[in-house]
Amino acid sequence: MLQLTYIRENKEAVIAGLQKKRFAKAGEAVEQLILLDRKRRETQVQLDTTLAQSNALAKEIGALMKAGKKEEAEQNKAETSRLKASSKDLAETLERVEKELNELLVTLPNLPHSSVPEGKSAEDNEIIHQHGAVPELPETALPHWELIKKYDIIDFELGVKITGAGFPVYKGKGARIQRALVNFFLDEATKAGYMEIQPPIVINRDSGFGTGQLPDKDGQMYHIPEEDFFLIPTAEVPITNIYRDVILPEADLPIKNVGYTPCFRREAGSWGAHVRGLNRLHQFDKVEIVQIQRPDKSYETLEEMSRHIQSLLQKLELPYRVLHLCGGDMGFTSALTYDMEVYSAAQKRWLEVSSVSNFETYQANRLKLRYRDENKRTQLLHTLNGSALALPRILAAILENNQSENGIAIPQVLQPYTGFDRIG
């Protein structure tokens, strides 16, 4: 969540940042926020002054009665009653203004970093790095949704029977390669200094608000109305919320956590060939890395996290590219995002498999996540996270890129985890 002090002091920069994020009516929203904030502060001053006057008069009443100044005491009582009524009206006004202010404030996305390119959509993202040769397959090569049928390793029809579309059943070597990928990603993160966390996969509304999924993505998450709980869209949410309302010692920074969870997304309105098979699911597995860092070191940390994710793709021998997302394609809470895409040889297109983002203080402000600096002052921290990695499209690329007449070769780095070197 943006800080009101920053908005007041940097109005034009805030408007420009929101416009880069393609936030509708940015200038109008900022002007309204500033007016509401001014009204809130003026009302607070009036309320404090009125309460102070009322308290001072109330204290005088006893002394006036003892001094036999009954008429003056009665005047004080009448004035105190009037001030109390006025205080009640001011308190109600303050509550209404604060509610309106907060409701508007939480609709504003994070401001983009100065390096974020202009752009409206994914077509405007900048490719900043590409690694590995794009494989060329024969015309007879199959997309992964045909391969999984051929080798009977994933069953979408069973998933429809049990739940519905977008909930596949992995079986045999399909299940084992899933487990292999999860263990490989967790082991690599542990080697890189991340502490493994196994969080709940159901969150409350406060947790969803803390990391910015609510109210922005309310309709995109699976909701349990009886308890007002939500199924997590990513492990970022429960892991980052571990530190909600926490003041961390500076010596503990950076915090480095990794967690594997299933993830759930409604993906309402998604259809077409680009979401076929494993390309987009309602339930999928993902390993997530999260860091909490001092503001002066967070962009250095972002690059470190990007290198870690790229190392996983290199070890899996998958061709990939790194994109610097433009303002119009960035997430609501992000200040800067790199996307990693792998090449799917049978589909002949790039598939996003990871996003690594720096949220700066946006989440920390909602979470009240701070640290004490060397002067014992509390400061907001920066939060970062990245997919390391999401499994469905990684698996799709492995199946498609490594197929041959003799089956599907398993990347060498995964073979100690799978116990087999080939499917088929």
Q: What is the pairing mode between strands 247-249 and 370-372?
A: parallel
pLDDT bracket for residue 270 (50, 70, 90): low
Q: Which pLDDT score, from 0 to 100, does residue 385 have?
A: 98
pLDDT bracket for residue 48 (50, 70, 90): very high
Interatomic CA distance for residues 39 and 66, integer angstroms? 42
Tens digits of residue pLDDT in 365-411: 999 999 998 888 999 999 999 999 999 999 999 999 999 999 999 99
Q: How many CA atoms lie within 13 A of 324 on its CB side?
A: 13
Tens digits of residue pLDDT in 304-356: 999 999 999 999 999 999 999 999 999 999 999 999 999 999 999 999 999 99
- pLDDT (mean) for 72-87: 87
> Per CATH, is 4-105 categorized as 1.10.287.40?
yes
Interatomic CA distance for residues 364 and 380, integer angstroms? 6
Tens digits of residue pLDDT in 123-175: 999 999 999 999 999 989 999 999 999 999 999 999 999 999 999 999 999 99
Tens digits of residue pLDDT in 315-329: 999 999 999 999 999
- What is the residue-averaged pLDDT of the chain? 95
Contact 111, 365 (CB under 8 A): no
137: closest CA among 419, 415, 406, 403?
403
Q: Which residues lie below 8 Å from residue 363, measured CB to CB, with a gap of 6+?
A: 210, 211, 212, 240, 333, 369, 383
C-alpha distances in angstroms, 91 versus 21, 84, 198?
36, 10, 44
Interatomic CA distance for residues 281 and 275, integer angstroms? 8
pTM of the model as a whole: 0.93
- CATH of 122-423, picked from 3.20.20.190, 3.30.930.10, 3.40.640.10, 2.60.40.420, is 3.30.930.10
* Domain parsing of the chain, residue ranges: 4-105, 122-423
Spacing of C-alpha 69 from chain mean position: 65
Q: Which pLDDT score, from 0 to 100, does residue 150 have?
A: 97
- pLDDT (mean) for 258-281: 82
